[in-house]
Structures are given as C-alpha cells and as structure tokens.
A and B are shown apart, each in its own frame.
Chain A
Amino acid sequence: DQQVKQNSPSLSVQEGRISILNCDYTNSMFDYFLWYKKYPAEGPTFLISISSIKDKNEDGRFTVFLNKSAKHLSLHIVPSQPGDSAVYFCAASDGGTYKYIFGTGTRLKVLA
C-alpha cells in the first residue's frame, strides 16, 4: 500500500523552462510534507517543506503547492537549470507516528 505516490518516474525539461513534479498521498493524517533531491552516489538533501496548514511555500526558484482536498502536492522549479538534474523524492510525515513515508522518486533531466 503506497501511501505516497510519484506517478512519473522521469521528466525532461528544457533549461530555463518550468519543471513541475507531482506527488499524491492517501493518508489524511499526514501533516507535514517535504521534497528531497538526490544526486548519484550521494544521500538525499532537503529542498523545501510545507505544513498541512499552508497551501504554498516558496524558497528561491522552488515552490511547493499543497492541495489538501485532492491530497496532492507539487514542486515547481523556475527557471530549471542543468544542475537541477537529479532524482526528486517527496515525503510525508504523521506527527502522531513520527514516521516519514517517501515516494518512489522522479528523475528530472534538464536539457541545456
């Protein structure tokens, strides 16, 4: 039972354009959501997060949107750069269980 789903295994975008990575979840008890970026042979690194009481959070080129009614969140990267090419994981946590549930990842390729 995959509680956090990233249905697109891969995405290619031209440099300078917008990248949109999507994530769906099923557990309405999740109250905090995070995005991580992972390069080969490295551990995941934190990008941006959002609390369930908000619907948008921005940090530079990265914006996360949360639609609680649809149980959907998305990460927007504008403008996309070749250095953004990596695997992106979304994650959700439930404050009651202290567990983090990760999606399966989306491989983003930004074409120069």
Chain B
Amino acid sequence: EAQVTQNPRYLITVTGKKLTVTCSQNMNHEYMSWYRQDPGLGLRQIYYSMNVEVTDKGDVPEGYKVSRKEKRNFPLILESPSPNQTSLYFCASSSRASTGELFFGEGSRLTVL
C-alpha cells in the first residue's frame, strides 16, 4: 500500500529537549516536504527536498532542521523545542515537484511544555 508514515503520532516534551519526527514514504517519490498546521493559519511549509541531499527552506523554517540522506526518509529535527512549536505536523511526498499531487502522512501532534 502506498503511504507516508510519520512517527511519533503524538508526543509531549519539554522545552529544550531535542526531538526527531521521522517520515518515510514507499512510493519512490523524489519530492518530500514538511508542514505545520495551526488554527487560523492553515498549512505552512517548513522545509522541502527535491531529492537526496537537496533541501530548502519553506515559509517557516526557524527552529527546525531536516536531512535527506535516503530517498525514502525525510526526518524533521527540533534541536531545542520551544512552546511556539506546539503544533500538528504533516510530512508529504510527491512524484513531481510543484505540479504533483502531494501524499500526506497522518500527522504528528507535538506539544512542547
């Protein structure tokens, strides 16, 4: 089954404790990206990757890092989480950048205390 898998689905952590949200896709897609969803703000792009070892900033990259060492994986790293990073996070992938249908994971709800 074609899917994008995120882990963890739910996480409560404390300020400053580094965490990683993993994302894996099994569709051999080249394009992957991360979004956060906040009330009244919709989905905002954090980072995206055109291919292995190629990443770029989206609209809200501050406080986040990503890496793309393998085609299927695109982890989101919060080096020092803060309460304003409490949000619902989605990973997505696509076979074509900018004109392709994005396939989304089920989301990871993160709370930073």
Name A residues whose Cβ lies closer than 8 Å to a Cβ of B. 4, 6, 31-32, 34, 36, 41-46, 49, 51, 89, 91, 93-95, 97-105
Contact = CB atoms under 8 A, between A and B. Distances in A.
A35 to B, nearest CB: 11
Interface string B12-36: 0000000000000000000101010
A89 B35 CA distance: 13
Contact of B42 (A51, A99, A102): A102
Contacts of A99: 45, 48, 58-59, 98
Contacts of B44: 102
A105 B106 contact: no
Contacts, number: 68
Nearest to B56: A98
Interface residues of B, number: 27
Contact of B102 (A34, A41, A104): A34
A-B pairs, 8 with minimum CB distance: A43-B104, A104-B42, A102-B43, A93-B98, A46-B101, A98-B97, A95-B98, A102-B42
Given A98-B50, A99-B45, A104-B41, A45 B104 contact: yes
B19 to A, nearest CB: 20
16 contacts: A4-B42, A31-B98, A31-B99, A32-B98, A34-B101, A36-B102, A43-B107, A44-B43, A44-B104, A89-B43, A98-B48, A98-B56, A99-B98, A102-B35, A103-B42, A104-B40
